[in-house]
Chains A and B, each alone.
Chain A
């Protein structure tokens, strides 16, 4: 399957700082990217959907000013956690899709473990 690379895989930051997570589709053009957050023993929670060249669509309860998403090209989307706090510590996962038809699958990055101290 296609490859989606997420970087960094693990990051520790101080409270109040910002952290940027990159998601790259390495061998296909991703028209749509999804960002998820996952807490221990829980399912993936969709945070936002971004389409290349347009503003991201955030799910209810997700602060768009805190979780900045940029999808400037067909191979790169970034999630910036601004003014991070310990409660933002979580596992963040991106997914990319090239929805050429209705049975297009989505490919996931390996995830980023964010720890805010």
Chain B
């Protein structure tokens, strides 16, 4: 399973765009890239998922270069309520070892 590397923490201000990059050098051909958000004392919440190029939904965009060895979660115009830990996961494969392994995550602090 691919291991992910993210910055431990990031600071931002309200209204700014935040980009969090995740490295996954050993990503397998069948692996998708999924990002989750977690608030204190809550379970993680799905943000976005992609395989290649760019994916956009109502809350975020996900940029994946051609080699798929990294991905960038983009949060447009963050607010205070976006302060949370963001996790990048890879490895939703269909074989018998299908499992979700969390890395250290990125602790985002949004300041007023």
Interface residues of chain A, those whose CB is within 8 Å of chain B, are: 1, 4, 6, 32, 34, 36, 43-46, 49, 91, 93-95, 99, 101-111, 113
Complex contact B100–A34 (CB within 8 A): yes
Contacts of B71 in A (CB 8 A): none
Contacts of A107 in B (CB 8 A): 46
Interface residues of A, dominant DSSP? strand
Complex contact A99–B104 (CB within 8 A): no
Complex contact A108–B44 (CB within 8 A): yes
- The answer for the CA separation of A93 and B92 in the assembled complex, in Å, is 19
Q: Which of B45, B99, B101, B104 has the most CB of A within 10 A?
A: B99
- The answer for the CA separation of A77 and B64 in the assembled complex, in Å, is 35
CB distance from A63 to the nearest CB of B (A): 18
Interface residues of chain B, those whose CB is within 8 Å of chain A, are: 30, 32, 34, 36, 38, 41-46, 49, 51, 87, 92-94, 98-105
A-B residue pair count with CB separations less than 8 angstroms = 63
Complex contact B32–A111 (CB within 8 A): no
Q: Given A34-B99, A102-B32, A108-B45, do A43 and B105 touch, yes or no (CB 8 Å)?
A: yes
Pick the residue among A43, A94, A106, A111 that contacts B41 (CB under 8 A): A111
List the A residue with the shortest CB-CB distance to B47.
A105
Pick the residue among A46, A93, A105, A110 that contacts B101 (CB under 8 A): A46
Q: Given A107-B46, A108-B44, A111-B41, do A99 and B94 touch, yes or no (CB 8 Å)?
A: yes
Complex contact B93–A102 (CB within 8 A): yes
Q: Which of A99, A105, A109 has the most CB of B within 10 A?
A: A105
Q: Given A6-B43, A34-B99, A108-B45, do A43 and B104 touch, yes or no (CB 8 Å)?
A: yes
Complex contact A99–B92 (CB within 8 A): yes
Contacts of A49 in B (CB 8 A): 98-99
Complex contact A95–B42 (CB within 8 A): no
